[in-house]
A and B are shown apart, each in its own frame.
Chain A
Amino acid sequence: MKFWLGLAWQSAWSRRQALALVTVSVAVSVLILLSVQQLREDARRSFSNALSGVDLIVGPRGSATELMLYSVFQIGRPSRNMGYAGFQEIQTMPQVRWAVPIQLGDTYQGHPVLGTTATLFTEFKSQGRGLDWAQGRPFGNPQQNAEALKEVVLGAEVARRFGHALGDKLVVTHGAGGGPESTEHDDQPLTVVGILKATGAPIDRSVLVNLETFEAMHQGWGLGISPHALQAANASQVASLDPKELTPVSLSAVWIGLHSRTEVFSVRRKIESFNRDPLMAVMPGVALDELWQVVKVVENSLVLVGMLVAVSAMLSVAAVLLVAMAARRKEWAILRAMGVAPTSLLGYVLLESVLVCSLGILAGEIGSQGLMWAAQDLLRVQFGVLVQPGWPSAESWLSLAALVTVAFVASLLPAWQAYRLSLMDGLHPPTL
């Protein structure tokens, strides 16, 4: 066996140019397939883990998936708001252990600004772990200290990306930025008082302020027009605002943690029957499942395309070996003359093509892990997907096994041809 392996290797090496090309094509196809699979798994895990501490998400009645996407992942924008009174009522429910309001709409350099309360820092869990502080502290309670209105807490990614440290001042943008109506809230600079440790959750990419701060920044914007345009505001205005008058009228969403998860259905029913405001309470896991149902079609098509590309690459290996057949009939006649049985030649050619395919598969696997490793920062920052390069997952192993099987079957083609021709030619292959 060692002898045949050496012989197959040396024979393949003598045709290395063509074989290297098909090896690369196998590697690329495997890379595509495995990367798609890994991204899919890692995306799912990241998304599920990002929500691990939240039992219910409450928002205006509408699409559950949409509510989850904008309130948790800051993907998309709320089209409607819920009344603040709904949040107050939720807070008083005995089953509710904690409730955190979420106010969205502004951005800082493209990062979403989250108006909320300090409760978030103690209750929020991501990947099963609570939030930790890299530096500083939570923002204060503006009801007790008006200075807290100017305080801001940064997610790890935001701090890292812009090199912010405690004490830095920053100005947030009204709206998503970039549009014709976008304007800086430069009349109200905020001071960084805390920086969170990285969690891998979307909160890393967020800028967090008090609900009242969010409200204060929008004082005078009632008509949807910047106070600059009305020339009605000045920089000293914030200090003069009374925090007690900064209670918002509406919210984007509310996150709820319950004392007992078994009460999730009764709480949901109760919230959805509030008669003041048509609300919706969504279990994150259920909403995620709905989302995956939608995404599944796309994912599956990607995997299918990857599979087809891989199969075609394996067939190209077979094709290259088949094209070389004519030139190699002499090689087999020589081996036949030395007593090698046609079945051994079959194994010999099979070995070579399996060798080429395996090399390609291995290179594809290493390449895909390398790619994940290289792109992990980008994926985390841009898409909130925490990839875990390393040993292939169970699903990837399954694909690898399928690929090896395809490689083997494709390899049978040239191997069978070698068997047939060597039996036909005997010691006298047609002269070239």
Chain B
Amino acid sequence: MPLALHLSELTHAWPGQAPLIHIAQLTLPQGQHLFIQGPSGCGKSTLLSLLAGVQQVQQGVCQVLGQNLATLGPMQRDQLRGEHMGVIFQQFNLLPFLDVAANALLPTRLFASRAAAASQVWGSPLAQAQALAEGLGLPSSLWHQPVHQLSVGQQQRVAAVRALMGQPQLIIADEPTSALDDANQLEFLDLLLSTAEKQGASVVMVSHNARLADRFHQVHVWPTKEAA
């Protein structure tokens, strides 16, 4: 079974400081979801940067989608992320000067392989975007609205649509629900996880909110005490 993640003795430290991240062993099969729980400021975001290939791996094994990130150059890591991953932030996910549709279609405009994958499964990138939007509960009337007219919940759904465009294998989500109210949090999370599952994508999500953990196949609790 292919692995979405395989981490071993992964260590990361800022220059002159004690290690921020140390993960002895972590393996995530493709298609399963991983929840990383920990308080804010503990290095979760840095871990996501490592997984996404934005930060260079310093020490240890960090295999993402079968690629050892430690051996890839910055350009190759950017390309891996662009072609095979989707990223959702806590908020401000969208380019303010583009409308909803243009934001959602960005990955397929940036990478031809994403557009090709979307077309292969759905007929066209636009068809996939519309199907995803419908599945995530975004009314089609919003399609050509400027993004600042959307509620935070709607903006997060557009971000999810964008992350899932063009059949990525890995979705990296950094506190994607914390800007939402409680009722919305679970609804959004369930939709995100189920949609990703349908596409065969793994979701790796970090959050401080332990209540969300039971939706995931695997939970990695940040070893705060040990790290301190």
Contacts and interface: CB of A to CB of B under 8 A. Distances in A.
A427 B95 contact: no
A13 interface: yes
Given A10-B97, A334-B93, A427-B174, A339 B82 contact: yes
A427 B78 contact: no
Interface in A114-147: none
Nearest to B80: A339
A331 B95 contact: yes
A336 B82 CA distance: 9
| Contact-size category for B | 20 to 34
B95 A334 contact: yes
Interface string B175-202: 0000000000000000000000000000
Interface stretch (B8-16, B107-115, B117-125, B219-227): B107-115
B55 interface: yes
A341 interface: yes
B78 A340 contact: yes
Contact of A426 (B55, B106, B162): B55
Interface in B79-100: 79-83, 85, 87, 89, 92-98
A77 interface: no
A174 interface: no
A143 B82 CA distance: 97
A13 B146 CA distance: 14
A7 B96 CA distance: 11
Given A11-B97, A14-B96, A339 B83 contact: yes
A160 interface: no
Contacts of A331: 95-96
Contact of B89 (A11, A13, A427): A427
A270 interface: no
Interface in B50-71: 52, 54-55
A341 B106 CA distance: 15
A76 to B, nearest CB: 60
A334 B75 contact: no
A92 B71 CA distance: 98
B97 A427 contact: no
A427 B82 contact: no
A427 B85 CA distance: 14
B94 A334 contact: yes
Nearest to A9: B97
B110 A340 contact: yes
A330 interface: yes
B74 interface: yes
B173 to A, nearest CB: 11
Contacts of A11: 95, 97
Contacts of B162: 338
Given A14-B97, A426-B54, A341 B78 contact: yes
A179 to B, nearest CB: 66
Max chain A Cβ within 10 angstroms of own Cβ: one of B54, B75, B79, B87 = B54
Contact of A339 (B45, B55, B111): B111
Contacts of A339: 78-83, 85, 107, 110-111
Contact of A427 (B49, B83, B94, B111): B49
A428 B79 CA distance: 19
B34 to A, nearest CB: 18
A427 B54 contact: yes
A340 to B, nearest CB: 7
A337 B97 contact: no
A391 interface: no
Contacts of B74: 341-342
A427 B87 contact: yes
Nearest to B79: A339
A3 B102 CA distance: 11
Contacts of A333: 89
8 contacts: A3-B109, A10-B97, A330-B92, A334-B89, A334-B92, A337-B52, A339-B79, A427-B89
Q: Which 6 A-B pairs have the closest CB atoms?
A: A339-B82, A14-B97, A337-B87, A426-B54, A339-B81, A341-B78
Given A339-B78, A339-B110, A427-B54, 8 more contacts: A14-B97, A331-B95, A333-B89, A334-B93, A338-B82, A342-B74, A426-B49, A427-B49
